[in-house]
Amino acid sequence: MKKILGVTGCPTGIAHTFMAAEALKMAAKELNVEIKVETNGAIGVEDALTWDDIQQAKCIIVACDKKVDMERFNGKPVIEVSVAQGIQRAKELVLEAVSGNVTVRGGIEVHHHIGAFDEKPSIGHVIYKHLMNGVSHMIPFVVAGGVLIAISFLWGIYSFDPNSEQYNPTAALLKQVGGYSMGLMVPILTAYIAQSIADRPGLIVGFVAGTIAATTGSGFLGGIIGGFLAGYTALGLVKALAGLPKQFEGLKSIFVVPLISVAFVGVIMCFLSGPVAAVNEYMMVFLSNLQNSSPILLGIVIGCMCAFDMGGPVNKAAYVTGTLLLGQGNYYFMAGVSAACITPPILIAIATTVFKNRFTKDERAAGVVNYILGFTHITEGAIPFAAKSPLKVIPILMLGSSIAAVLTYLLKIQVPAPHGGFLILALVDQPVAWVLSIFIGSGIGAVLYGFSREKLIDSEGDERHGTIS
């Protein structure tokens, strides 16, 4: 039996990572191919590939949107694609891997044609991978800090203020700790964008650039600029000094590269801080004003963004904006973002429950899981359904999410925590109204999705529609 390997990883390391791994395993099983898949999830690397695994493998499929160690695969045929392709085109990837038509990584030429998945990653995908590396490292700090701050509000919105009647020492301590965690958001984002580009040298200058962005008001936008500036500056310096004798390696890595890169990037970031901070402030004010003047328009925009790629860059743009406004004390914006993120999996779950005769047995089982994913704010559960018929399903998901977001803005619901789904209902100022908004959007979308499907021949589900992979 032919043996291949897989490596999967998504920015957040929660859903896409394991969905791609499962899809590759199922495709390999169907094609009678032995496979081992390493997952780079939120808790770290699982089922790590050993040296023996790599030596014995015919090919390695790397389906990742985050940085992983690629040097270990030098000299082996490697297919490198996005994690989305790992989910949607698993069978094609496995067939390509065993075809013998894959180029070898590390500059070694082969004498047969290049495979369909062997093209060089686009500039856009490379930039996206670097950006998402920063976002994936940033999100745990945002979630932990945001939830701690939100919990402190249980004692009162001014419970942190010693001059207020609501003051409580425990609440004040929780808010302080949560504030420290939230305060690391931009430095972490910037540092790990730079680290994705230039490894450890980038991490060093990235932290400095991110701290400047955070303290000068440049915020998220300044952090992104600083991350790419720091990463490519450090990478350029390392390459420029590559010809130095090996005895100067320690001096180069500890003194020369950090000193020059921090000085260069730091000065540029200080000069850019004013203009970038002004742009950042304008964006935040614009969104806050839109929330009051055009809640319906804002809800539609947020709903479409959150449901468009379900955990991808468009979804993350809305989510990160919500967390930034959350840090400024705006709890209305996040209510709509959370509702729009929660809606897609619940919409799928309701559709598979109500319209049982229109979904296969496997789809109905996946639908039940989506209740859990939706209740805990994990949008990615809807992806396998959307992937099978994107032009039909994604617009329905966007509609459902938009309805939920619009209702939360019209009702002026406040959600002070950046994540958690229904687990943080005690922190929501109008919990019943918020849940109803989500279920109204999900219910309308579920009806549309259910009727968009054809009835199956029997109650157990004809396999015409296939199974979820």
| DSSP conformational letter for 104 | B
Contacts of 377 by beta carbon, 8 Å cutoff, 6+ apart:
338, 341, 342, 419, 420, 421
Structural tokens at position 229: 């500036």
Average pLDDT of span 21-49: 87
pLDDT band at 225 (very low <50, low <70, confident <90, very high): very high
Average pLDDT of span 115-128: 65
pLDDT at 312: 67
Cα(238)–Cα(227) distance, integer angstroms: 17
pLDDT at 206: 95
In this predicted structure, the answer to whether residue 77 has a pLDDT above a threshold of 80 is yes
Structural tokens at position 169: 């020492």
Choose among 196, 191, 195, 197: nearest CA to 212.
Answer: 191
Cα(184)–Cα(250) distance, integer angstroms: 29
Structural tokens at position 282: 């304008």
pLDDT at 213: 92
pLDDT at 411: 93
| DSSP conformational letter for 416 | -
pLDDT at 462: 47
**Domain range annotation of the chain:** 3-121, 124-289, 295-465
pLDDT, greater one: 109 or 357 = 357
Half-sphere exposure of 390 (CA within 13 A, CB side): 8
pLDDT band at 461 (very low <50, low <70, confident <90, very high): very low
Contacts of 460 by beta carbon, 8 Å cutoff, 6+ apart:
361
The C-alpha angle with vertex 6 and arms to 72 and 55, in degrees rounded to 5, equals: 45
Cα(419)–Cα(203) distance, integer angstroms: 27
How does DSSP assign 43-98, residue by residue?
Answer: TEEESPPPHHHHHH-S-EEEEESS----GGGTTSBEEEE-HHHHHHSHHHHHHHHT
Active-site residue, from 10, 59, 304, 306:
10
Specify whether domain 3-121 bears CATH 3.40.50.2300: yes
pLDDT at 117: 52
**How much of the chain, in percent, has pLDDT values that exceed 90?**
31
Cα(248)–Cα(255) distance, integer angstroms: 10
pLDDT band at 109 (very low <50, low <70, confident <90, very high): very low
Instruction: State which amino acid sits at residue 289.
Output: N
Contacts of 454 by beta carbon, 8 Å cutoff, 6+ apart:
358, 464
pLDDT, greater one: 145 or 260 = 260
pLDDT band at 439 (very low <50, low <70, confident <90, very high): very high
Cα(53)–Cα(150) distance, integer angstroms: 46
Q: What is the mean pLDDT of the chain?
A: 84
Most confident stretch, 103-117, 301-315, 453-467 = 301-315
Average pLDDT of span 230-246: 87
pLDDT at 388: 75
pLDDT at 119: 53
Span 288-325, pLDDT tens digits: 777 778 889 989 999 998 888 776 667 777 887 787 77
Most confident stretch, 64-68, 194-198, 325-329 = 194-198
For β-strands 60-64 and 78-81, DSSP reports them as parallel
In this predicted structure, the answer to whether residue 465 has a pLDDT above a threshold of 70 is no
Cα(24)–Cα(93) distance, integer angstroms: 8
pLDDT, greater one: 387 or 39 = 39
pLDDT at 137: 85
Instruction: At 386, give phi and psi (nearest 5°).
Output: -65, -35
Average pLDDT of span 277-285: 81
pLDDT band at 357 (very low <50, low <70, confident <90, very high): confident
pLDDT, greater one: 465 or 290 = 290
Question: Residue 285 is inside which H or E element, if any?
Answer: helix 257-293
Residue pair 13/68 in contact by the 8 Å Cβ criterion: no
Residue pair 469/27 in contact by the 8 Å Cβ criterion: yes
Residue pair 79/60 in contact by the 8 Å Cβ criterion: yes
Residue pair 195/231 in contact by the 8 Å Cβ criterion: yes
How does DSSP assign 142-189, residue by residue?
Answer: HHHHHHHHHHHGGG-TTTT-TTSTT--HHHHHHHHHHHHHHHTHHHHH
Span 409-425, pLDDT tens digits: 999 998 887 777 888 88
pLDDT band at 353 (very low <50, low <70, confident <90, very high): very high
pLDDT at 311: 67
pLDDT band at 464 (very low <50, low <70, confident <90, very high): very low
Average pLDDT of span 149-154: 81
pLDDT at 120: 60
Comparing 34-43, 225-234, 328-337, 376-385, the range with the smallest average pLDDT is 376-385
pLDDT at 457: 62
Half-sphere exposure of 265 (CA within 13 A, CB side): 37
Say which residue the tokens 């970031």 belong to. Answer: 269
Span 241-253, pLDDT tens digits: 887 777 777 788 8
pLDDT band at 365 (very low <50, low <70, confident <90, very high): confident
Choose among 402, 400, 406: nearest CA to 382.
Answer: 400
Residue 10 appears among annotated catalytic residues: yes
Average pLDDT of span 344-361: 91
